[in-house]
Structure 1
Amino acid sequence: MCRDYCIAPREVHYACMIDLLGRAGRLDEARDFMKTIPFAPDANVWGALLGACRMYGNIDLGKHAAECLFQLEPHNAAKYVLLSNIYAAAGRWDDVAKVRKIMKDRGVQKQPGCSWIEVKNKVHTFMVEDKSHPQTEEIYSTLEELARQMEAAGYVPDTNFVLHDVEMEQKEHSLYHHSEKLAIAFGLISTLPGLPVRIIKNLRVCGDCHTATKFISKIVEREIIIRDANRFHHFKDGLCSCGDYW
């Protein structure tokens, strides 16, 4: 950029470079590259590093990145949740509890997960384990049938994404009823076979729902598009356009 085009890299360019290194799992190189940045790294840079640490389970570097983000964006709940995800995946429930206490002490409120889908010009909204929809019985029945087919195809619930130290069976039960799964089930029973199902979620789609949606897209032979807080996910034939990194 500097030599050929006389363009000085800005914060966003450094953030993209950290993201590229993070996607490749080259976290040590990403950390060393950050030391070369000629200004204080902003939230985008630290956020890219934290996301990579979550993906690859680097607890120490993830904690450092999160602490820097807490200083830059003390009321951004998503960064606290990412650090909780890292701890929960490692089974470090005491550290998960500490992060929650920090959030409480600082007055940081985690926005409840919510997914919605528009069918026939009407918006249908779902929360986790939501049973307020008029077609709840059919929605849950559809999810149960999908669960059987997914498990037969090799799907295993990833309980690392349930941030509570509870029994395994309870964790799996909670995972099956996340808001995006409920919205997908409703979309499948409310639209014609073969048509795409389009979902919007206010938060980042969790890893288990991402894996489950890949299985569902292949089982029902439908395209499923989810727009979460980070990006679009286009699921088709058991694959996602994000390449499983988001």
Structure 2
Amino acid sequence: MVKCYDITPEFKHYACVVDLLGRVGKLDEAFGFTCRMHDHKNASVWLPLLAACRVHKNVELAEKVVARICEFDSENVAAYVLLSNMYSSVGRYKDAMNTKSMLFKKTNKKEPACSWIRIGNKVHGFVAGEECHPYYNVIINALDLLFGQMKKEEYVADTMVVFLCCFSAT
């Protein structure tokens, strides 16, 4: 990028490389790549690796990644949620519960999910629970059609990572 195109890599470029390495299962290579970055104190580079660890069920590396994230961002909710989901997916429910409990103690508010999509030249942003998008009703109708088709096709969701636990505020 630098030599041929005079483009200085940004975090998003590094995150893409980490994501690609993770998708093909080269988790150790992705970890080493991230550790060798000149400034690796950015969760946006580590979280794709953590997600890949969950997909490939590499709990040991996931714990290392969360430890790295906590060195510079101990309040990162996504890291704890991914780790907890990973523990659940491999049957380590006590660890999942402990992680969720620790997260609950750190913060009792999870940031709402947010997604973006580009259609043509316009970027649309969506935040979970908000109904203020000008095409909200059209989007809901499209989702209803998709869910209907999924039901018709007898789609079954993968719920292996779902772990529900209630915590009291005391």
The interval holding the TM-score normalised by the smaller chain is 0.5 to 0.7
Cα distance change, pair 111–150 in 1 and its aligned pair in 2 (3 A): farther
User: What is the alpha-carbon root mean square deviation over aligned residues?
Assistant: 3.2
Cα distance in 2 for residues equivalent to 1:75 and 1:38: 23
For the 8 Å contact 1:54–1:86, the answer to whether it is kept is yes
Q: Is the partner of 1:159 in helix, strand or coil? A: coil
Classify 1:80/1:6 alpha carbon distance in 2 versus 1 (closer, same or farther; 3 Å): same
Q: 1:96 to 1:4 in 2, by over 3 A?
A: same
Alpha carbons of 1:32 and 1:148: their partners in 2 closer, same or farther (altered >3 Å)?
Answer: closer
Structure 2 CA distance for partners of 1:20 and 1:57, relative to 1, 3 Å: same
User: What residue identity is the alignment partner of 2:31?
Assistant: R
**Structure 2 spans left out of the alignment, 5+ residues:** 114-127, 166-170
Cα distance in 1 for residues equivalent to 2:98 and 2:68: 17
Task: State whether structure 2 residue 128 is matched by structure 1 residue 119.
Answer: no
| Equivalences for residues 111-150 of structure 1 within 5 A | 111=111, 114=128, 118-119=136-137, 149-150=152-153
**For residues 66 and 11 of structure 1, what CA distance do their matches in structure 2 show?**
18
Unaligned ranges ≥5, structure 1: 125-138, 166-246
Which position in structure 2 is the counterpart of 1:59?
A: 59
Higher strand content, 1 or 2: 1
In the alignment, what sits opposite 1:32?
A: 32
- Residue 43 of structure 1 corresponds to 43
Q: Give the C-alpha shift of residue 157 in structure 1.
A: 4.1
SS at match of 2:109: coil
Instruction: Describe the shift of the 1:109–1:6 C-alpha distance in structure 2 as closer, same or farther (beyond 3 A).
Output: same
Query: Hey, what's the Cα distance between the residues in 2 that align with 1:147 and 1:44?
Result: 32
Between the aligned residues of both structures, percent identity stands at 35
Q: More deviation in 94-103 or 6-15? A: 6-15
Structure 1 position 67, deviation (Å) = 2.4
Quick one: which amino acid aligns to residue 98 of structure 1?
N
Residues 30, 49 of structure 2: 8 Å contact kept:
yes
Matched, 1:83 2:83: yes
1:77 is matched by which residue type in structure 2? V
Amino acid at match of 1:102: M
Matched position secondary structure for 1:17: helix
